[in-house]
């Protein structure tokens, strides 16, 4: 396909979505997506753009081409694992309409991003632009979400489904979300399910009481133990070997896990597993500062204000601890692994900030009423 046609298709998709939404923030995100998609295509051309940031885009584009050809695999494992069907199949309608496969995937990434942004904005229920922007930044719907929306990657879809599973009150939505996550990234779904079950059982036993400030560290350690144990069991199953639990564990492994809580995984990764220079990775975290700010704020709040956090926040901490304990045992430990949890971490941060602000206002209001009573009381009483 000529790059001019690709550009025209991107403009049509952007213009159509722009006309369908009525919120300025969503329209701004669509404009950023349109400019970004076109810029990447012109800078790298249609084939080399698939290697921009991550060559995983080559894989997803190939899957869409398989679906478009009609020569569908008959192996069930392909549909439940390799095909990443929730993401790739969603791009098929646009592809059948003649849209370039990669652009169709990027359009799906954008739609998921816009859907997540709408959910975050509706939850905040604020008309103030500064409050809305703050909420989007803290939930990964700012620069990081916009960046991944212009890529043919599944990250924005996983962000959306993880958020829906944790926050939706509709059982069918939660089931559909966790099933989709299971196909997109199985250990993410397992971590969320286990965390949900463990927190539910814990609340049932202790009648919604907590363990004070020791609760968050306990959840963190429990999650790491569970995650590493699950990984070991899986390795035993795949290799047929008696791999010891916590094999070769030491200070390095602990630091590697801790780095995930502040978004600096590259500082603890092996040099052969890093595709960018340290300078490039540091610059990337400056531009996409949410990748550091959100997890760092989240773990700080959980460690020092756990009694004031919600059930969803506790599920998020436990699920994230299980998840990164698995991820650090693989060759794919990077800030991309944290992306699906960004909206949930941000939700915890926003809840804490709003609760603190409400508490301060209530305290000031009570103090004002008391002062007014003292000043207005009759003398001599």
Q: In sequence order, which residues have a C-beta less than 8 Å from that of residue 86 and are 6 or more positions away?
A: 154, 157, 161, 180, 183, 184
Task: Give the pLDDT confidence score for residue 111 in this predicted structure.
Answer: 97
Contact between 135 and 120 (Cβ < 8 Å) = yes
Count of CB atoms within 10 A of residue 24's CB? 10
- Backbone phi and psi for residue 149, each to the nearest 5 degrees, phi listed first: -70, -25
CA–CA separation, 236 and 281 (whole Å) = 34
59: nearest Cα among 41, 76, 77, 81 = 81
Residue 241's pLDDT band (cuts 50, 70, 90):
low
Task: Give the pLDDT confidence score for residue 373 in this predicted structure.
Answer: 47
pLDDT at 380 over 50: no
Range name among 96-100, 128-132, 208-212 with the lowest pLDDT average:
208-212
Task: Give the pLDDT confidence score for residue 344 in this predicted structure.
Answer: 95
Task: Give the pLDDT confidence score for residue 230 in this predicted structure.
Answer: 84
Task: Give the pLDDT confidence score for residue 285 in this predicted structure.
Answer: 73
Task: Give the pLDDT confidence score for residue 243 in this predicted structure.
Answer: 61
Residue 32's pLDDT band (cuts 50, 70, 90):
very high
pLDDT at 271 over 60: no
Range name among 43-47, 202-206, 281-285 with the lowest pLDDT average:
281-285
Task: Give the pLDDT confidence score for residue 209 in this predicted structure.
Answer: 57
pLDDT at 347 over 70: yes
Q: In sequence order, which residues have a C-beta less than 8 Å from that of residue 329 and are 6 or more positions away?
A: 228, 231
How distant is the alpha carbon of residue 366 from its chain centre?
Answer: 39
Task: Give the pLDDT confidence score for residue 136 in this predicted structure.
Answer: 93
Question: What region, left, alpha or beta, does residue 140 occupy, with left being phi > 0 and alpha being psi -120 to 50 degrees?
Answer: left
Share of the chain above pLDDT 90, in %: 48
Task: Give the pLDDT confidence score for residue 317 in this predicted structure.
Answer: 92
Stretch 89-108: mean pLDDT: 96
Stretch 91-99: mean pLDDT: 95
pLDDT at 160 over 90: yes
Stretch 1-22: mean pLDDT: 94
Range name among 6-10, 44-48, 98-102, 189-193 with the lowest pLDDT average:
44-48
Task: Give the pLDDT confidence score for residue 275 in this predicted structure.
Answer: 59
List, for residues 283-311, the tens digit of each pLDDT value.
777 788 888 889 999 998 888 876 677 88
Compute the mean pLDDT over every residue in the chain, rounded to the nearest whole number: 84
């Amino acid at each position: 396909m000529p790059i001019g046609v690709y550009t025209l298709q991107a403009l049509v998709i952007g213009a159509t979505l722009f006309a369908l939404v009525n919120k300025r923030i969503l329209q701004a995100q669509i404009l950023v997506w349109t400019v970004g998609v076109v810029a990447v295509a012109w800078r790298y051309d249609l084939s080399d753009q698939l290697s921009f940031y991550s060559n995983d885009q080559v894989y997803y584009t190939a899957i869409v081409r398989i679906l478009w050809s009609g020569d569908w695999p008959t192996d069930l494992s392909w549909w439940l694992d390799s095909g990443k069907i929730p993401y790739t199949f969603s791009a098929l309608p646009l592809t059948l309409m003649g849209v370039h496969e990669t652009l169709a995937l990027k359009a799906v990434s954008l739609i998921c991003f816009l859907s997540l942004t709408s959910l975050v904005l509706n939850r905040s229920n604020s008309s103030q632009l500064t409050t809305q922007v703050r909420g989007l930044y803290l939930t990964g719907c700012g620069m990081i979400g916009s960046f991944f929306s212009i890529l043919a990657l599944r990250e924005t879809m996983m962000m959306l489904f993880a958020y829906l599973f944790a926050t939706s009150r509709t059982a069918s939505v939660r089931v559909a979300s966790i099933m989709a996550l299971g196909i997109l990234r199985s250990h993410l779904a397992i971590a969320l399910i286990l965390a949900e079950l463990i927190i539910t059982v814990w609340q049932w036993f202790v009648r919604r009481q907590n363990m004070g400030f020791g609760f968050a560290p306990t959840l963190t350690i429990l999650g790491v133990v569970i995650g590493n144990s699950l990984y070991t069991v899986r390795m035993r199953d795949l290799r047929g070997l008696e791999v010891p639990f916590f094999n070769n564990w030491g200070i390095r492994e602990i630091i590697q896990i801790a780095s995930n809580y502040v978004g600096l995984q590259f500082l603890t990764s092996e040099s052969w597993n890093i595709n960018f220079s340290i300078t490039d990775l540091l610059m990337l975290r400056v531009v996409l500062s949410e990748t550091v700010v959100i997890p760092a704020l989240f773990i700080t709040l959980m460690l020092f204000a756990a009694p004031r956090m919600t059930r969803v926040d506790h599920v998020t901490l436990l699920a994230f601890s299980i998840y990164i304990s698995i991820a650090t045992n693989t060759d794919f430990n990077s800030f991309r692994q944290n992306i699906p949890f960004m909206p949930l971490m941000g939700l915890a941060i926003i809840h804490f900030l709003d609760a603190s602000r409400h508490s301060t206002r209530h305290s000031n209001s009570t103090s004002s009423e008391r002062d007014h009573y003292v000043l207005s009381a009759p003398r001599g009483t």
